[in-house]
Chain A
Amino acid sequence: MIESLFPNVDWESMWEATLETLYMTTISTLFTFIIGLGLGILLFLTAPKQLWANKVVNWLTGAFVNIFRSIPFIILIILLIPLTLLLMGTIRGPNAALPALIIGSAPFYARMVLIALKEIDKGVIEAARSMGATTGTIIWKVLLPESKPALISGITVTAIALVGYTAMAGIIGAGGLGTLAFLDGFQRSREDVTMMATILILIIVFIIQYIGDLVTIKADKR
């Protein structure tokens, strides 16, 4: 029955494209998490009255985050072609999409990290200071655990946005379900291929959302 609904779908290439999409999403989410977390913590700690209060660093980090968050992703990919070539040695395929995906979404996640950290009760940080904690201890044992649910739901939203970005990157040849839907589906007028790619993307999104929600609930002891 599936064969008759999707007559033009080449299942082998569809599966390969799915794996490429999953690959791009996973790797870029991982790096986005690390870089976004770093930027978010830096933004938080360098803000006025915080532990590393520093106007210059705060302003520079804020400017970087705001600029890269504001550039439309499709333009960012084009702007980053030279960097991509330098880092990856190619501008085609899943790996070539990674720099743009990460640079595009890390600032977005950094903002969410900042919001999550601002939600932490200031008194808890003061309590840790009163016990003689170092800033490192405060980051690892207070800031991160106390904002865990918000950090997890934030990375869930970001990962889902990244699935969308990989599809966009697909238009300019990154591979994955986006490329398949565009080249095999749209350009050759095979609606069933486009439809199948869409269904698979939706399934990936639903799974990410489901796992994210589950982990968030489990992490929240408030």
Chain B
Amino acid sequence: MIELKKVTKKFDTGKAILTAVDEVEFSISDGEIFGIIGYSGAGKSTLIRLLNGLEKPTSGTVEINGQMITAIKGGELRKARQKVSMIFQHFNLLWSRTVKENIEFPLEIAGVAKSQRGKRVQELIELVGLAGRENAYPSELSGGQKQRVGIARALANDPEVLLCDEATSALDPETTDAILDLLVDINKRLGLTIVLITHEMHVIRKICHRVAVMEGGRVVELGDVLNVFQSPQAEITKRFVAQVADSGDSQETIKNLRELYPTGELVKLVFLGEQTEKPLLTKLIRSHSVDVNIVQGNISHTQRGAYGTLILQLKGSPAEIEEALAFLRAEDIQAEVMQND
């Protein structure tokens, strides 16, 4: 369990006082994958560094599994850091060490005997899928492989929490997916709590359970990923959600669709969770006399279930259309007729 209470971090830039993190307060449960999203300068980098004491807050407290990270220092803090490990956007591997030696580094720091290190390193190499590359130097690896070394290194001392600092931002989309899958796998297998910061909404959508949206050092929105995607409240959250899903909401789109499908009614359906798995359209067509034409559709999968939108063209008499809508609403689907005004 991670608990932040009124955490504020101010930097004195010489000319002005900059508030990087402003009274942030939330808690993260064990085994959760918690995402923090924000544009650069939103304070998320500083915030994640407060969790392992790389930065000290100006005020407020950070508590991880009963230990007050903000109150300890020296040897005690170094010991605590072995349980709260971190991976980085640019991997930060030692170029002078091989894959094996890089993964061994945290074990050396923890004072693990040489005879036991080799076995542990081998386990970790298997876990992250790097078997056969033990003796390669980082310069001989691809970006994805480097991040795998970073993850193995971070897991070496059996941490309770893994902090991911833009861990996939330097990778191509395919490698990003593979690394995210690995993180989910680790989360499930080891029960590790993962806190990640990113500016990419698809990372949040793909692996996070909950998300906090940051702007100007403050958390402006926090909630279940599914809910945040479904009904974003803050302006900035809406922009992030729009990054990954074209919800077909903008007037422009409605106008375009109207021109393409001038007859009947355009109806937008919103699915959430298990509703996406029901054969709704089949039922609708079988039991009603309207003509159904799929215009646009989109289903996204998150760790907490799927959500999606579907735009249909319904043709029939107004009464028939009204009946069809009533049926859909009875099935607990949000259905609205798209007006262009």
User: Which residues in A have some Cβ–Cβ distance to B below 8 Å?
Assistant: 121, 123-124, 126-134, 137, 141-142, 145-146, 148, 219, 221-222
Contact = CB atoms under 8 A, between A and B. Distances in A.
Q: Is the interface on chain B under 10, 10 to 19, 20 to 34, or 35 or more residues?
A: 20 to 34
Interface stretch (B103-111, B199-207, B310-318): B103-111
Contacts, number: 65
Interface string B133-177: 000010100000000000001000100000100000000000000
Contacts of A124: 92-94
A123 B91 CA distance: 8
B95 A141 contact: no
B109 A132 contact: yes
Contacts of B157: 131
B86 A132 contact: no
B258 interface: no
Interface of B: 52, 54, 77-82, 85-86, 88, 90, 92-97, 105-106, 108-110, 137, 139, 153, 157, 163
B98 to A, nearest CB: 8
B90 A221 contact: no
Given A137-B109, A221-B139, A222-B139, A130 B94 contact: no
Contact of A132 (B81, B90, B96, B137): B81
Nearest to B106: A131
Given A141-B108, A145-B97, A222-B95, A130 B139 contact: no
A104 B54 CA distance: 39
Given A123-B90, A221-B139, A222-B139, A131 B105 contact: yes
B107 to A, nearest CB: 10
A130 B96 contact: no
Contacts of A219: 96
Contacts of B86: 127, 130
A142 B109 contact: no
